[in-house]
Structure formats: structure tokens, C-alpha cells
Chains A and B, each alone.
Chain A
Amino acid sequence: MDTLIQILDLTARSAIPLLLACLAGLYSERSGIFDIGLEGKMLAGAFFAAAAAAVTGNAWLGLLAGIAASVCFALVHGFASITNRGNQIVSGVAINFSAAGLTALLGQSWFSQGGRTPQLGSEQRFGPLELPFAEALSEVPVIGQIYAELISGHNLIAYFAFAMVPITWWVLFKTRFGLRLRAVGENPAAVDTAGVSVVWARYRAVIVCGILCGIAGAYLSIGLQAGYVKNMTAGRGFIALAALIFAKWRPVEAMWACLLFGFLSAVEIRYQGVELPLVGVLPVQLVQALPYILTVVLLAGFIGKATPPRAGGVPYVKER
């Protein structure tokens, strides 16, 4: 029971940055702007959040700085692919590269710790929140344990990430913003002829994407860890992208996909070097490769046809 709860707890922790990045991608791609720059934006968010938190001593200012940095990158992507109708993949790749380079450069020149930011104290990060009665209930078997150890004890950003799932669903399907966002990703000409600005609708989606990526990055550097380490996103942005396709661009499915990938990395962390009956010690490399192998296998055949938004990746140009 304890092991199971431990693994599930690890699952949730690993899934949170994926979930935030995946929802970020969902807003952008549903509006027709493909975004492989999730990774870069998360990285920028993580670095600037940690840097600002270290300098100001305030976690909230750190979070804001992370969001601001990520939104800046998102706007660059928007400017390239919406305003100038550039290739969205190229722009995304450029963002990943420049974020990786910029964070390393600034990290070294500001803090001189080989690209790290200084270790953050508890004031400078989002610590775990103890939900009411967690202590009292922890003695109750199963339900109490789950409540105290699995549900309680995460930081604010974690709860926010899971709250974003129903919120995103509601925004997408029950608001004017969502209706236009989905329409602009399927048939921008229909939106244009209805007298609504395609450019503005897409920019708004891209900005929301930037905000969520920034939060995802901040979760890594000032939530989960106590400081920024070089290249700390480690491909999570790409896994989030895989989860998005896996979830067929739908919010609730996105949560399940991220939890699945989170579960795999939890298994990886938990069973690294542990002797298992029959198989012996699993090679670390194999365990680490599992999420990626699963992604390839699942995407190659097991999820059926994932139809992306019809206008995805295509810059909108008025005809003729």
C-alpha cells in the first residue's frame, strides 16, 4: 500500500509540469498554431522564475518573472508565425535553441555557478500545502492515507494544474473565446468572414500558451526543486507534445495522458537499481527510455487516428 501511494504521489509530481505544458500546447494548437517550442518556453520560465526568486527573495515575483519570460518567447513565436506567416516548426525550433542558449549564458554571467541559480530557501519557493485535517486523517487506513499522502502535501501550482483541466474544458466549449479559438484552428476563413479577427484570436491563444508554459517551468525550479539547473526541463516539453497528440487535443484526455507518462517516470525513479523478482535489476537506460518507447509505440498504432486541427500549421492568408 505504501509503495503504491508512493508511486502514485511520484506520478502526480511528474505529471504536473507535463500537464501544464500539454494544456499550454492545447490552447495554441487548437487555434491553429503548432508549437514545438513548449520545451524552450518552459526552460525560460524555469530559469527566470528561479533567478527572480533568488534575487527578490519572493516566490510570487519568481513566478511572475517566469511567466513574463515565457510569454515573451510565445510572442516571438506569434510574431513569426501569425504576423509574418512564417513556418511554425522552424520558429518553434528556433525558440528551443535560443531558450537553451540564453538561460545558460545568463545563468553563468549572473550567478557564476555553471549555469545554476543559487539554492533557494523555503521563502523563495512554493512549498507543500498541508490540506486541512491531513494530519488527523493520516491514521485512517486507505482513504485517510490517500488523502494525507497523495492528495495533500503538494504545492499551490500542482493544485492549479489539475484545476486547469476542467477550466480549460469549460473555456474551450462554453465560452465565446473558446468557440472562436476552436473555429480559428479549423477554418480561419469562416472566422474572418464572420467579422472576427483571426490574428487577434490566435495571438490570445499563443499568449495563454506562454502563461501556462511559464507556470510549468516555475513549478520545476521553484516548486519541485530549489533552484534552476541547466537544461532542467529535460525534454518534458516534447513529452507534453506527445501527450497532446495522444489526447487528440482534448483537455480531460490530456490529463490522463500526462498521468500515464508521469506514472512511467515514477516507475523509472522508484525502480532504478531495485532488484525485481525474476528479471533482476532492470538496466537504468531501459527504464529511462520507457516513456519514449511507449510514446512511439502508442503514437504509431494504439490510439487510432489523431486528427489535428484542420488549419494547424497553416498561416492564414486571405485568398488571392
Chain B
Amino acid sequence: MAETGNVDSRNGSSDDQYAIELVGINKHFGAVHANKNISLAVRRGSIHGIIGENGAGKSTLMSILYGFYQAETGDILINGVKSHIGDSLAAIKSGIGMVHQHFMLVHNFSVLENIMLGAEDGPILNRGVARARAELERLETEYSLEVDPDAIIEELPVGIQQRVEILKALYRGAEILILDEPTGVLTPAEADHLFRILGQLKEQGKTIILITHKLREIMAITDTVSVMRRGEMVATRKTAETTVEELAELMVGRRVLLRVNKGKANPGEVKLSVRDLTVRDSRGVVMVDKVSFDVRAGEIVGIAGVAGNGQSQLLETIAGIRHAESGEVLLDGKPVDVRASADPAILRQRGLAHVPEDRHRMGLVLPFEENECSILGYHSSPTYLNGPFLNIDSIRADAAEKIEQFDIRPPSCRLKTANFSGGNQQKIVLAREMERDPSVLLVGQPTRGVDVGAIEFIHRRIIEMRDAGKAILLVSVELDEIRSLSDRVLVMFAGKVVGERDPATDESELGLLMAGVGADEEVEAAQ
């Protein structure tokens, strides 16, 4: 069993300092042992962090606690009392509330309707509405969680939507609040605000469980932290007595380089040049607004910004997937017709490779075998063809080679792409795009949903590409990633490049820029 450096919660010692105790929880999904004999004790009125890589079993464990799944063996004790949590209703009744990673809100309902759903107070809504409105007002003032009860969810920013989720839990009388990766969609400022709210909830005596893979958050606000790895609970530490390095090592099971090692950039000639690019989406809203910048050979230009500020559209337009309204793009000094005829296939031939942001939607065909995915977009290259037919042998040999070079696991080119982990799927895409020796590489969210070990590998490969003299444009919503990889950082807000900064710039300054505060007057950043 996993060695838990835990406090003495065994032997059913149920003095009631613990809000939650899990003892010996086991859960399988088919052949996967998702939770192996997990024990965990969460002290009342504390913030308890749970970290681990993707697939470590954190979410499974919390889903068991919230009644989404049933554990095969093991006990759940709530306030020292053994409880059976058969469904979400039972969890709610035991005072457990959960804020899911993907919000459980109905997008076209009002805030009030969302909060009432499942707690309507009788078959006719009228009475319930009045009570909910009053109660909401009380909760809002008590925890300073202001929300307009009549606003429609889809019109609210994500930060506020998350607030609605928290209010929903509090409205149901939650004493224990579980938050699953709550900061993934927030700006640094919004995340700080969330942490203040959590601090306040803790002062009111609520117990909070925070699931995350971001070590910084754990260090910033938790009291205790538990680490999971491959379905096991490997350690529990007092946050004050541990370090980021120790936690990272516990998560991955070996020493991890958190900081990217890279030498000074040696920029050469301009490879990609973007001038006054303006892009509208299908509704006619301006998504990219007169953006101009250059990317030189041998440098990484990072584009920072909160998701949804036009980075995706910018990347797609340069890649030829989306057409621009005006402006121009030069590739190797020659124009690309981004307004009409730009086409990913032609751009690929001209030496532009693209690792799309959403690998599931745009990068891979999940039901395909690995070797089939590894030639997508390059399938008409003579190497892979035998007259009008695919040359299966050469495709598989080529795939096997890439698997070795990129350490893709499991090393089987006949496996369905869907059966690889997120990190390995990403490596399949990277291998495909990098191995064609492009002169310009566009990379979107290279490590989204990728675990710490693979992140390190992917970052190293991107730096190697730079050192080999490629021009790299990197888009990421992870500010840490932008800062550690880029040689120059452009910040996008509301479709505009609002500033260029050195990657060593203070994080809070970048964070403010990402929220549109303190934008440079000269928008022409990268001339």
C-alpha cells in the first residue's frame, strides 16, 4: 500500500476534527485500477490540495466522494460518521458541494434558475423563486460573491460562471466544497479573486478540497497537500513543510526539471511576417484586430492571453484554415493570400507546419491508428504513396521511427489514436509536424492536458527546433509556459496585440496586460 505520511486518521479514530475521511477506497474501470486503496483525511475548516498528473485518479476519487461513482471497497466518513453516498443527491444532503472543471450550468438559463435547479422548493416555481432570490442576496453579501440573479449564464464571463457554481453549492448548504481544476479557465486576476473567496469561506468554517495540477496554487493557498500518482495516494504533507520541487518529484516519480533550460536566442532573418491582420468570425465579430508582428528564424515568439481573445483565430488564419478580412501575411518574404486562397496544404508545402490548439478536433482523427494519424496532411507525399495507393509499409516504418524519436508510449503504431494518453497524442502531432523540417512552426497550446513528464519533453523539442533555426510562433494560455519558452512575449487582449514584453517581465504585469490594463500606446509591437 502507498505510504502515507499522513496524520493519524486510521483505526477509525473519529474525533471530529476531520470533515472527511476516506479509508481504503478501490475503484477499477475495466482493466485500469483508477484508485488503489486510497486513504485520505481532510481536516475541518482547512484547504486541502490534491495534486497529481492527468490520469492519476484525482477526479475519480472526487467523483466517488460526490456520488458519481461507487467505490468497490472502502468507507467514507463524513464528520466522523460512516456514510453511504449512492448518488449526487446523497452527497448534497451530506453537505458536500462540487465545482466541476466543466461547469454544470445550463447555458441559456438565468443565474437564479441554475441555482434553483434541483432545489426548487415545491412543484410551482413562484414560491421557490422568491426564497432563492432572498437567500442568494444573503449569500452574496456574506461572501461578497456579487452576481446578477437574472443574468443569462452564457452572457457571463467564465469567472462569474464559476462564482455561480460556488453559489449553487452554498445554496444547497454545502459545508465541504470540492473544486476540480478551478483556475484552468481564469485569468491570473480572476484566480486571485477566487483564492480570496476560498480564504473567506475557510474563515467561515467551510472545508475546501482543491484539485489541481498547478503546483503554484497548492503552495499559495492550501494548508495540507496530498499527492496522487497512478491511482495511489503517495504522500500527504503540510504545505508549509514542503517545496515545489519535492511535490513535482512525488507527482512524477522522478526528478523533474521545472525550469526550461535554454540558451540565448540567435534570431536571423524574418521568416513570418504579419501586417494589419483583421479577422472576423462567422457572426461578423472582429476577433483579430489589425495585428502586426514578425517572427525570425531561431526565435520563439509567444502569444499570451486569456482564452478567447483572438489567439485561436490568429493562429488559424496564419495556418490557412480561416480567412482574413484584411491585412497580409508574408512567409519567407513571399505573400500568402490570407484573404481568399490560403490553404493549409499549400502552406505546408511552403514550409509552414501547424500544431493546432485542439488536437482532438483538428490535430488527430481519434479512431484512426497511430500510423494513419502520423501522415495526416502529408498523405500525398511520394514517400507514403505507391502509385494511387498508400504505401502501408513505408507509412508504418516511418511511424515507428517517429515513435522512437519522440518516445511515444506505448510504442505501437497500430494502436488506435484514441487509446493514447493526452501527452502521447500530443507527441504524435508534434512528431508529424516537426519531422517535415518546416521553416515556420505554429504551435497552439502544446501542453494542454499533458502531464508534467511529457511537458518537459515537449518543451525541450520546441527549444531544439528553435536552436535549429526555425521560426516558432507559440500560443498558450499557460502564462508560465509562455514565459519559460518564449524569447519575446506578445500579449493579446480583445483581438489586439496590447503589448510586447520580455519573458522575464513580472508575472503580475503580464497578468494585467492580459486583462487589458496598462496596454502600450504603440500597438505595432513587433516592428
Q: How far is the CA of A174 from the CA of B102 in the complex (A)?
A: 28
Inter-subunit contact A187/B106 (CB<8 Å): yes
Q: Is residue B126 contacting chain A, with contact meaning CB distance below 8 A? A: yes
Contacts of B100 in A (CB 8 A): 193
Tell me whether B79 is interfacial, beta carbon within 8 Å.
no
* Chain B proximity of A304: nearest CB distance (Å): 13
Docked pose: A195 CA to B119 CA in angstroms: 9
Interface size in chain A (residues, C-beta < 8 A): 21
Q: How far is the CB of A190 from chain B (nearest CB, A)?
A: 4
Q: Does A135 contact B (CB under 8 A)?
A: no
Q: Is B389 an interface residue (CB 8 A)?
A: no
Contact A187 B105, beta carbon cutoff 8 Å: yes
**Is B107 close to A, CB under 8 A?**
yes
Interface residue stretch chosen among A156-164, A176-184, A230-238: A176-184
Among A177, A190, A196, A318, point to the contact of B123 (Cβ < 8 A).
A177
- Cβ < 8 Å to A, chain B residues 79-110: 87-93, 98, 100, 102, 104-109
From B91, B113, B168, A179 is in contact (CB under 8 Å) with B113
In chain B, residues 112-154, which have Cβ atoms closer than 8 Å to a Cβ of chain A?
113-114, 116-120, 122-126, 128
- Asked whether B114 lies within 8 Å of A175 as measured between CB atoms, the reply is no
What distance in Å separates the Cβ of A270 from its nearest Cβ neighbour in chain B?
41
Q: Which A residues are in CB contact (< 8 Å) with B118?
A: 180, 191, 194-196
A186 is an interface residue with CB less than 8 A from chain B: yes
Nearest B residue to A180 via CB reads B117
Please, which residue of chain B has its CB at the minimum distance from the CB of A194? Answer: B118
Residue of B nearest to A192 (CB): B88
Asked whether B88 lies within 8 Å of A193 as measured between CB atoms, the reply is yes
A310 interface hit (Cβ, 8 Å): yes
Chain A nearest Cβ from B341, distance in angstroms: 28
Cα–Cα, bound, A238→B170 (Å)? 46
Which residues of chain B are near A106, meaning CB under 8 Å?
A: none
For A310, what are the chain B residues with a Cβ–Cβ distance below 8 Å?
Answer: 107
Contact B120 A179 (CB under 8 A): yes
Collect the chain A residues with CB atoms within 8 Å of residue B124's CB. Answer: 174-176
Tell me, in angstroms, the Cα distance from A193 to B107 when the chains sit together. 15
Q: For residues 106 through 125 of chain A, which have their beta carbon under 8 Å from a beta carbon of chain B? A: none
Q: A175-B123, A179-B116 are in contact. Are A193 and B104 (CB under 8 A)?
A: yes
Count B-side interface residues using an 8 Å CB cutoff: 34
A75 CB-CB contact with B under 8 Å: no
Check: A94 CB closer than 8 A to any chain B CB. Answer: no
Q: Does B378 contact A (CB under 8 A)?
A: no
Q: How far is the CA of A183 from the CA of B108 in the complex (A)?
A: 9
- What residues on A are CB-neighbors of B117 within 8 Å? 179-180, 183, 190-191, 194, 196
**Complex partner residue of A195 from B29, B60, B87, B107, CB under 8 angstroms:** B87
Q: Nearest CB to that of B168 among chain A residues?
A: A194
Q: Tell whether A179 pairs with B125 under 8 Å between CB atoms, given A191-B117, A195-B89, A196-B118.
A: yes
User: Contacts A174-B126, A179-B125, A189-B104: A194 and B119 contacting too (C-beta < 8 A)?
Assistant: yes
CB atoms of B104 and A183 under 8 A apart: no
B106 with A193: CB separation less than 8 A = no
Residues of B within 8 A of A183 (CB): 106, 109, 113, 117
Interface centre among B98, B106, B116, B120 (most CB of A within 10 A): B106
A175, A177, A186, A192: which contacts B107 (Cβ < 8 A)?
A: A186
B68 at the binding interface (Cβ < 8 Å): yes
Select from chain B the residue with minimum beta-carbon distance to A177: B123
Chain A residues with Cβ below 8 Å from B93 are 195
Question: Which chain B residues lie closer than 8 Å to A193 at the CB level?
Answer: 66, 68, 88, 98, 100, 104
Given contacts A177-B123, A180-B117, contact A190 B104 (CB under 8 A): yes
204-233 of chain A: CB within 8 A of chain B: none
Closest 4 A-B residue pairs measured CB to CB?
A194-B118, A195-B89, A190-B104, A176-B120
11 contacting pairs across A/B (C-beta < 8 A):
A176-B123, A176-B124, A183-B117, A189-B104, A191-B117, A193-B98, A194-B119, A195-B88, A195-B91, A196-B117, A320-B29
Apart from A179-B120, A190-B117, A194-B118, what are 8 other A-B pairs with CB-CB below 8 Å? A179-B117, A190-B104, A191-B117, A193-B100, A194-B117, A194-B119, A195-B88, A195-B91
